[in-house]
Structure formats: structure tokens, C-alpha cells
Amino acid sequence: MTTLNALHQLDLDHHIHPFTNLAGHQSRGPLLIDHGDGPFVVDAQDNRYFECVSGLWSAGLGFSEHRLADVAYAQMKRLPYYHSFTHKAHSPGIELAAKLVELTPETLNHVFYTNSGSEAVDTAVKMVWYVNNALGRRGKKTFLARRLGYHGSTVASGSLTGLARVHDDFDLPAIPVRHLTTPNYGKEARPNETEVEFTTRLGQEMQELISHEGAGTIAAFIGEPVMGAGGVLPPPVGYWTMVQRICKEHDILLVLDEVITGFGRMGRMFGLEYYGITPDILVLSKQLTSSYQSLGAVIVSDELHDVLVRQSAQHGSFGHGFTNTGHPVATAVALETLRIIETEDLVANAEARGAQLRAGLTLLEDHAAVLSSRGAGFLGAVELVPDGPAGAAGLKAFEIAHKHGLILRAVGDALVFCPPLISSEAQIDQMLAALRLVLDDCA
Ligand SMILES: Cc1ncc(COP(=O)(O)O)c(C=O)c1O
């Protein structure tokens, strides 16, 4: 077996890490995670950490759910791979599509599978263009997105993402997109502006942009119900009602990116229930398999599906897809994930644990290192008092957290929380107590 030191060196020599300071990695090296245990992960030196962000907002069933492993093994033995091009199908892929349709609003009835959230967003973009071209609306191509929104890092999804580090020197955006003001009342509101006034101003900005560019050029609006990677930013009151009204007025499709908020995270099965949103296209991934397999899904309305069907007949094929679209092992694992979420009532657990988390973060507002807290559903954040340049306080807390048995995520000077859906009341209490120790060390 390769020794720890050798693995460390091989990582430095040969492994390019995503979203990592590649220069800093050479001096710092990897944190080698060895195995999982419920909401905890254990590193190669046997240090145990509570995963405050479920890995990448995704492993809601934690890191040792053997029922998912068993289903994957059984499916691998029966049919380890088959594709779904040219009319082929298999039962897990079909059954999962039916299950997703059962769980989502009644207008969303048709599922296309991808391997990731980014691919799902790219698929949604291409579907919107395909549909608009089919309807003779060839000028309607531009997407409306938001600054600090995150939709992935491929060429199209990365263009929609509103983060400079995803664009700079990658020659993005590469598709027509306009980024609107972040719906973050805490940071973007003007002095004395109420939340309702802030929402109204965001609506005016959207209307003005549409008039300026021409509604005949704007294809779709894409957004996360609550911005996740941008720093856990719940929208101001009335925001989604306003967005939907303006989209309807100008025949702009609504693409809802529930890659983080889907499957219980909001204390509802989907964020769309929480905010009363009816999208034309719903994008899902991450929690769909608790990240035990790579899978994304795009669910489209009957209306859009009718157009896809007609247009593919014109071309002789719907010319889009991937080798692993609807992989049998991934879709079997997804079915089991959804079964566990339902039978163990993890949506209700997320609602209760979310209330506990947010109350705990509110209590931390009295700490000298904390400016404020926020959250929605089982998502939360604390904004730290700046300590030097922007992001330095967050980075410091992120590092110190390891010694208190927490894996945290810092977004600038905010610490964000998205614990596994399976977390118990005692585990969230322990996490909050450890977080206070982290903040003590920071202050
Ligand atoms: C809201 C949202 N959409 C899309 C993505 C992209 O998913 P992936 O990393 O699987 O490509 C992410 C990833 O964090 C996300 O948070």
C-alpha cells in the first residue's frame, strides 16, 4: 500500500485540484480524507471532522450509507452500464424519471439526465435555445442571471455563474448573459431602504434591462431559490413573485436551479414550494444521489417538451446527450436515496434541524468575531468581523476549524453551513459548540 507521505507527494506532482489555489497547494498539500461515518469524515491520520457543508452541499445522507452501496453493487452485477441513445432504456432510469415527476409540480413531466449540475445547466441552456429556434424566436437568446449566483463551471453554466474567479482568464462569459444585482438585502440595500423597497428596485432593474435590450432578445431567467455558493443568501421578501411576474409579462422562461436546494434542504422537498415558484425548467443534481454517484437531471414542462419532440422530428434526432446519460447505477442509487429521504422523513428532520441551526447561529451574533447571521431551511451563514483584507477572517476560521473537528466552508468572510440531512439534534448542538470555540480562537 502506498504510504501517506508518498500519496502526499504524488498528489503534489500529478493532481490538479478544482477551485484550489494551485500555488498554495504546493506548500500546504492535501488533507487526505480516508473514510466516512454518518455526518463525519475521518482523515488519514484518524482525525474526525463534522462536515458542516455535506461535502459540497451534497452528501445529505452522510458518508456511510451502506444501503446506497448495496444498491450500487446489486445494479453493477445486474447491468453495470447501458446507454439511453437511440430508444434504449433500463428500469432504474425509467422508474427514477417517474419518481421525479411524481415529486415535482404537475406541469413538470419530462426528465433528461446528465452527469453533473453543470451539465444539467448546459442542457437547460441548449433546450431553451432549441425551443426558441423551433418557435421562430431566433433572436431570443440572452440569459438573465445574478451576480454571485453559482450554476457550474462548464462553458455555458460558468458563463451564467456570477463570480469573477469563474470568468477571469477563462474567456467567460461565452454565451449571451446579463448579470443582475445580487438579491442580498444585507449587502446591497441602500441606507434606510426597506426589504420591500429593495425588491421593487431589483424589479425595476430587471424591467429596465429588458426594455433596453428588447424582450425579443431575452430567452430565460436562471436562479437558485437561495444562493448557495455565493454565501447562503436568501432573497428579500417578494423577490420570486416579482421575478415570475416579469418573466411572464415578457415571455421569458424561468429556469430554477435547485442543485443545492432540492430534496429536502429547505425543509420542503424543493425550494420552489418554499417560495411558491413554478419554473419552466427545473435543474437538479447533488442530493439526488447524496453525491454517491454522479447524476443530474433537467425536468421540463409539457409545453417545452412538445416543442422538443416536434423539433427533433424535423432534425431526425434530439442531438444532445452523454455516454453516461441516465447511467443505470447512478439512477438506481438515486431511487434508493429518494426512498431513504421519504421513509426516514428527512425533509421534516431538515426543517427541525434548520430551525435549530439558525437559532444557534443567531445566538452567536453576540460573539466578538461575528457581525451577523442568516439562513433559510437547513442552510445558514455567519458573517465574520473582517480581519485584514477581505476573506482573511473566513480563511482563518476555516483553518482553525480543523483543530476543533469541523470542516467549514468560507465564502469571503462568511462561514456557510449545509450539514447532512441526517444530522441529529445532538450533533448540531455539538457543531455549534465547536463553532463557538473556533470563533473564540479567531477573536
Ligand atoms: C446551484 C448550483 N448549480 C449548479 C452547480 C454545478 O454542479 P456541478 O458541480 O455538479 O457541476 C452547483 C455546484 O455547486 C450549484 O451549487
109-136 tens-digit pLDDT: 999 999 999 999 999 999 999 999 999 9
User: Is 90 exceeded by the pLDDT of residue 2?
Assistant: no
Distance 223 CA to ligand 1 centre (A): 12
pLDDT of residue 207: 98
For ligand 1, whether the C-beta of 233 sits within 6 Å is no
Indicate which residue's Cα is closest to atom 7 of ligand 1.
117
pLDDT of residue 194: 98
Q: Ligand 1, closest atom to CA 154?
A: 11
- What mean pLDDT do residues 79-95 have? 97
The rounded mean pLDDT for the chain is 97
> Which residues fall within 8 angstroms of residue 113, CB to CB, at 6 or more apart?
84, 93, 295, 296, 297, 298, 325, 326, 327, 330, 331
For ligand 1, whether the C-beta of 228 sits within 6 Å is yes
pLDDT of residue 134: 97
Distance 408 CA to ligand 1 centre (A): 18
Please report, for residues 84, 127, 241, 302, 422, the alpha-carbon distance to residue 87 in angstroms, rounded to integers and kept in the order given.
Answer: 6, 19, 39, 20, 38
12-35 tens-digit pLDDT: 999 999 999 999 999 999 999 999
Pocket test for ligand 1, best of 286, 287, 411 (most atoms within 8 A of CB): 286
What structural domains and CATH numbers belong to the chain? 31-64+345-442 (3.90.1150.10), 69-343 (3.40.640.10)
Q: State the pLDDT confidence band at 250, using cuts at 50, 70 and 90.
A: very high
For ligand 1, whether the C-beta of 122 sits within 6 Å is no
pLDDT of residue 173: 98
Q: Which of 225, 183, 187, 221 is nearest to 202 (CA)?
A: 183
pLDDT of residue 84: 97
User: Is 90 exceeded by the pLDDT of residue 261?
Assistant: yes
> How open is the CA angle 189-191-192, to the nearest 5 degrees?
100
353-408 tens-digit pLDDT: 999 999 999 999 999 999 999 999 999 999 999 999 999 999 999 999 999 999 99
Determine what percent of the chain is predicted with pLDDT higher than 90.
99
Helix (H) or strand (E) segment spanning residue 297? strand 296-301
Distance 184 CA to ligand 1 centre (A): 20
For ligand 1, whether the C-beta of 231 sits within 6 Å is no
Distance 166 CA to ligand 1 centre (A): 12
